[in-house]
A and B are shown apart, each in its own frame.
Chain A
C-alpha cells in the first residue's frame, strides 16, 4: 500500500516544514518507493533554465567536469536542481516508469510514455546517478537519474512526429500563445510587443488565427533581423521596429495605425524593464494588457494605469493554462514556415 501524498508535494518537504516544495531548502528525493499520487520518471535530459545554466557555466569557467560537479552538488544538498544563485530550475525530458495507485487510469499517461515536465526543476524531486553529456550551447544535460512529478505537476506527451529538441524549445514558452488563443476574439486589434522573439512569433500566429480577417495584428519588434523575419512570416497585418520603452512614440504610432481606436489586446513579451506604460497607452481604455515579460514591475503597471486614468485590465502572465502544450505544438504542426525557423534557431 502506497503512502498518501499531498497534491502539491508538501509530503516531500524536509526543511523548512510547512512550506511548498519550491521555496523549500531540502526535499526528499528517495525514489525507492513513491507516494500514491506521484509519477516516477526515468530522466533522459535536463533542460536547465538559461539564467541558471549561464551562472553555473561561469562559475565553472566553462569546464564541463566542473559543471557536472556543481550540478551534482546542488542535487545532493537540496534533492532538486534549484540554482542557489538564480533560484531558477528548468524542465526535464524522460520516460514514465511508474504511476501512483491513486492516479492510475485517471490521467492520460501510461508507463513507457515519453514526457516533458512543464513544472520547474526548482520544485521537482531529482536524483542524478550519472551525468552523461553536457551541451552548453542549448543548456541541455543528458543524465541517468530519476525524478518525481507531483499530482499538481503539469507535463506534455512528446508527439512521435516531431523532433524532441523542437518540442522542448516550443514548450518552454507554451503559456504565451495559449493565452493569446483564449483572449483574442474575431475582429480584435492585437498589439504584440516583442513580436520577433520565440514566444512573440508564436503569439503573432495564434493572434491572427483567432482575430481572423476582420481583426488586425500589429507586431512591434526590435532588431532589423527579427523585423524582416516577422514580415516574411506574414502573420501580422503590420510590423514595425521601435524602442518599446518609449511610450509616447509608440502610442502615436498605434494611434495612426488604428485610426485612434487603439488595441483591444496588448501582449507584452519583451524581456526588458520599463515597457509597462507603453503597453497601457497603446491599449484601449476598456482593453486588456497581458504581461508575459518577467521584467514587468507590478507597481509601475498598477500606478501607471491609475496615473493616466486608464480602466484597462492588466493580467499577470501565467505560464500555465489548460491545454497550453497542445495549442503550442499545434502551431508548429500547422505552420511549416514557423517550424522551419524554430528548427533552425532553437532545435
Chain B
C-alpha cells in the first residue's frame, strides 16, 4: 500500500501543490486505497443547502436534470463541490476498508458513519443516483468515498435516528467549545441563543456555570425566546436585535452590572454584531464567534477602537470529542430531543 499525506494532498490532480479543498480535480479512484485512508460505501449525500438550492434553481427543480448536474460535477472534479457556491456537505455511509495507517483503531468495517469534513474535499466515485427529491437535500446514491487521515467522522449511534443525529452533528462544534470555555459561576451571554446551535450552547453553558452563574440569551424572534423560557435553558432571556449595539448593551448591563459578561458566544447569522459582542463582554473576557457572518476587521478594529483588552476567537467547527458531546445532549435532555425531532427531522 502506498503512503498517503495526512491531509490528502496525494489525491490532488490539479493544481499540484494545493490542498484537496481548493483543488479543481481530485483522484477519485477507489480500486485501491492509500495506507492512511478509509474507503466508504456511500448511502446518502447530505448536500450543503446553499449548494443544493443553486443546483435546484439552475435545473428548474427538475429531478432528472439535477441528477445529471450532480453527476457531471463529480465527474469533472472527483468530488461534490459546487463550482458556484464552493460548498460541499457531508455524507453517510458504511466503512468498507481501513488502511493500516489510519489513526483511529476503534473504527471497523461495517460501521455506519457520518463524515464531518466537507464533501468539498472528499474524493467521491459516484456510480448512480438512486433517489433525488428536489425538496430534500439528502440524495441517496451508489458511490464510494475516501476519508483522509485528517478527516473527522462520527459513528452513528443506534439509539438516535440518522436524521436527528445529522442535524445535531452539523453544529456539534459550538456546544463543545462552550464546554471548554465556560467555568463555574461565569456570566455567559449567548447571542442568537434560540436557534439550533444556540439551544445546544445554552444547555451546555447552564450546566457549566452551575447554580451561581448566569446564562443570558439574546434572541431576535419572540417565538425562539419563548422556547428558551419554556425549556428553562437560560437564567435571563432578552428579546432584541443584536445589531442594535447600545440597546443590547443597556439591557445586558441591567443584568450583569457595568462589568459585563465573562464569555460571549455569538451564534447570530447576520452581519454587524461584532461591536455588540465586544461591548457586553468584560475586559480580559472572551468572545467566541461562531457566526459565519463575522467580519474579521470589524472585530479587530472594533475592540481596539474602544480600547478593550479581550480575546476574540474564530469559531472552529471542530473540537476533539465534539460529536459525542453533542449527541449526549440529546440523550440527557428529552426536552431538547423532542424539540429537535419536531423542528429538524
> Among the listed stretches A18-26, A92-100, A189-197, A198-206, which one makes contact with chain B, having 4 or more residues with CB under 8 Å of it?
A18-26
Given contacts A20-B275, A281-B7, A307-B21, contact A318 B316 (CB under 8 A): no
CB pair B246 A311 closer than 8 Å: no
Q: Inside 8 A of B21's CB, which chain A residues have their CB? A: 304, 307
Q: Inside 8 A of A152's CB, which chain B residues have their CB? A: 306-308
CB pair B246 A19 closer than 8 Å: yes
Contact among B292, B305, B317, B320 for A22, CB-based, below 8 A:
B305
Q: Inside 8 A of A281's CB, which chain B residues have their CB? A: 7
Q: Indicate if A235 sits at the interface (CB-CB under 8 A).
A: no
CB pair A320 B117 closer than 8 Å: no
Residue of B nearest to A306 (CB): B317
Residue of A nearest to B153 (CB): A309
A288-331 vs B, Cβ < 8 Å mask (1 yes, 0 no): 00010010111101111111111111111111111000000000
* B261 CB, nearest partner CB in chain A, Å: 16
Contact among A175, A277, A311 for B318, CB-based, below 8 A:
A311
A314 to B313, CA, bound (A): 6
CB pair A291 B296 closer than 8 Å: yes
Given contacts A152-B308, A315-B314, contact A309 B151 (CB under 8 A): yes
Q: Inside 8 A of B245's CB, which chain A residues have their CB? A: 18-20
A154 to B307, CA, bound (A): 6
Interface size, chain A (Cβ < 8 Å): 50
A153 to B305, CA, bound (A): 8
A18 to B247, CA, bound (A): 8
A270 to B41, CA, bound (A): 43
* B341 CB, nearest partner CB in chain A, Å: 26
Contact among A120, A301, A313 for B305, CB-based, below 8 A:
A120
Q: Indicate if A249 sits at the interface (CB-CB under 8 A).
A: yes
Given contacts A19-B245, A294-B296, A299-B292, contact A175 B304 (CB under 8 A): yes
A154 to B304, CA, bound (A): 9
A307 to B22, CA, bound (A): 11
B286-330 vs A, Cβ < 8 Å mask (1 yes, 0 no): 000100101111011111111111111111111110000000000
Interface size, chain B (Cβ < 8 Å): 48
Q: Inside 8 A of A123's CB, which chain B residues have their CB? A: 305
* A248 CB, nearest partner CB in chain B, Å: 6
CB pair A294 B151 closer than 8 Å: no
* B267 CB, nearest partner CB in chain A, Å: 13
Q: Indicate if B150 sits at the interface (CB-CB under 8 A).
A: yes
Q: Indicate if B53 sits at the interface (CB-CB under 8 A).
A: no
Q: Indicate if A246 sits at the interface (CB-CB under 8 A).
A: yes
Contact among B279, B307, B316 for A311, CB-based, below 8 A:
B316
A317 to B311, CA, bound (A): 8
Q: Indicate if A169 sits at the interface (CB-CB under 8 A).
A: no
Q: Inside 8 A of B314's CB, which chain A residues have their CB? A: 291, 298, 301-302, 305, 314-316
Q: Indicate if B19 sits at the interface (CB-CB under 8 A).
A: yes
**In the complex, which residues 12-57 of chain B have their Cβ closer than 8 Å to any Cβ of chain A?**
17-19, 21
In the complex, the number of residue pairs spanning A and B with C-beta atoms less than 8 Å apart equals 140
Q: Inside 8 A of A248's CB, which chain B residues have their CB? A: 7, 9, 17-19
CB pair A318 B312 closer than 8 Å: yes
CB pair B152 A297 closer than 8 Å: no
Q: Inside 8 A of A120's CB, which chain B residues have their CB? A: 301, 304-305
Q: Indicate if B173 sits at the interface (CB-CB under 8 A).
A: yes
Residue of A nearest to B319 (CB): A311
CB pair A294 B318 closer than 8 Å: no
CB pair B305 A309 closer than 8 Å: no
* B169 CB, nearest partner CB in chain A, Å: 12
Q: Inside 8 A of B275's CB, which chain A residues have their CB? A: 20, 23
Contact among A18, A119, A247, A296 for B304, CB-based, below 8 A:
A119
Q: Inside 8 A of B304's CB, which chain A residues have their CB? A: 118-120, 175, 318-320
B195-239 vs A, Cβ < 8 Å mask (1 yes, 0 no): 000000000000000000000000000000000000000000000
Q: Inside 8 A of B108's CB, which chain A residues have their CB? A: none
Q: Inside 8 A of B265's CB, which chain A residues have their CB? A: none
CB pair B308 A303 closer than 8 Å: no
A118 to B301, CA, bound (A): 12
A298 to B246, CA, bound (A): 25
CB pair A298 B316 closer than 8 Å: no
Q: A305-B317, A309-B152 are in contact. List 13 more A-B contacts (CB 8 A).
A: A18-B247, A19-B245, A19-B246, A118-B307, A120-B301, A152-B306, A246-B17, A298-B294, A305-B318, A309-B151, A311-B318, A317-B300, A318-B310
Taking beta carbons and an 8 Å cutoff, which residues of A are in contact with B? 8, 10, 18-20, 22-23, 118-120, 122-123, 152-154, 175, 246-249, 277, 281, 291, 294, 296-299, 301-322
The 9 closest A-B pairs by CB, nearest first: A319-B304, A306-B317, A316-B312, A154-B307, A314-B314, A309-B152, A298-B296, A320-B304, A318-B303
